[in-house]
Amino acid sequence: MIEQIKTNDSRFLEIEGRFKQEINDFISYSHKRSELTGNVNVSSNKASSYKNHLIRLILHYERIYDDPFHSFTSYESFVKLNNIKNHKGFKEFNRKKSNFYSAALGEYERYILEFQGAVEIEREQNLNQEIQNYETQESNKDLLIKNPVIKEDMTLYNLKKRRKRSINEALYAKEKASWECELNRNHRTFINRKGRQFVEVHHLIPLVFQADFNYSIDFADNLVALCPNCHRMVHYGQSESVIPALEKTYFEREEKYPIYGIKLTFDHLLNYYLERPM
Ligand SMILES: [Zn+2]
Ligand SMILES: [Zn+2]
């Protein structure tokens, strides 16, 4: 199954060198987490053991798929490595190795999601900022996504074109919501310089999880218009307030997702919010 190569093997050192900074970051993340959970004594051994197991998984991935591992911090990379769990013989092999491979994957997932959670919020903030410039206009209905768009195609768009499309989708999402908070139409904010009530857009399926879907999730029906307070709540609130918000917004657009080729149950969505530091 997974080759138990030594840590001074040149192939091992190559991966370690390729992702030097990210790996150091992963180790200090793992240290910190052990400290927080009170395992100070074992934290340093554990973190470096996770690292070694991850490097072996990356080597294994590159060998069997003949696909170079480009990035250490994308969610897609986690999905790639995590797939190895479904391979024949992994379970037994993992058990023989005291389940350290699955533990390393779990730690890697937490690390990536914490990292990507910050990226997600920043990306949304940028979109919410940029869209302000377009709010006197109406969305261009001809440019809206109306059917499944293979996500690989998205890379064919140049960035500018892709950005323009995202803004158009966001603009349409706000129009559909009549520039009101979808959690409660009575939530009043303020009128912005373009004469609209200020609301923000939130990606119901966070964009970071794009790797779990074959088709693009960057369309208006995956966007929820929210007042700034509700928007922060959805990101940072306790499950008692987040769950009803997800219920309301999910079941209002449940039948829309198949139009875009997206299969999503409510439990699946809930898992994105509750099990993860999003
Ligand atoms: Zn959001
Ligand atoms: Zn609100």
* Tens-place pLDDT, residues 216-244: 999 999 999 999 999 999 999 999 999 99
Under the phi-then-psi rule, with left for phi > 0, alpha for psi from -120 to 50, and beta for the rest, what region is 218?
beta
* Alpha carbon 223 to its chain's center: 15
Place of tokens 């294994």: 60
Q: How confident is the model at residue 41 (pLDDT cuts 50, 70, 90)?
A: low
Ligand 2 centroid, distance to 235 Cα (angstroms): 13
pLDDT of residue 152: 66
Q: Is the pTM of this model over 0.75?
A: yes
The ligand whose atoms approach the alpha carbon of 199 most closely is 2
pLDDT of residue 163: 85
Ligand 2 centroid, distance to 191 Cα (angstroms): 15
Ligand 1 centroid, distance to 166 Cα (angstroms): 14
Ligand 1 centroid, distance to 246 Cα (angstroms): 12
Q: CA of 58: how far to CAs of 46, 73, 207, 234, in Å? A: 18, 13, 24, 34
The ligand whose atoms approach the alpha carbon of 226 most closely is 2
All structural domains of the chain with their residue ranges: 10-111, 135-274
Q: Residue 16: pLDDT above 70? A: yes
Structure tokens given for 201: 């857009």
Q: Select from 130, 148, 129, 119 the least CA-distant residue to 277.
A: 119
Q: Select from 261, 163, 175, 171 the least CA-distant residue to 212.
A: 261
Q: Strands, E, within the chain: which ranges?
A: 200-203, 223-226
Give the mean pLDDT of 3-21.
Answer: 95
pLDDT of residue 44: 66
The ligand whose atoms approach the alpha carbon of 222 most closely is 1
Ligand 2 centroid, distance to 231 Cα (angstroms): 7
Ligand 2 centroid, distance to 229 Cα (angstroms): 6
CA dihedral 185, 190, 193, 196 (to 10 degrees): 10
Distance CA 58, CA 39 (A): 27
Q: How confident is the model at residue 95 (pLDDT cuts 50, 70, 90)?
A: very high
With contact defined as beta carbons under 8 Å apart, do 119 and 207 qualify? no
User: What are the pLDDT digits (tens) for 140-199?
Assistant: 999 999 999 988 655 556 677 788 899 999 999 999 999 999 999 999 999 999 999 999
Got the DSSP string for 61-112? HHHHH------SS-HHHHHHHHGGGGSTTHHHHHHHTTTHHHHHHHHHHHHH
Ligand 1 centroid, distance to 36 Cα (angstroms): 27
Ligand 1 centroid, distance to 232 Cα (angstroms): 7
pLDDT of residue 65: 93
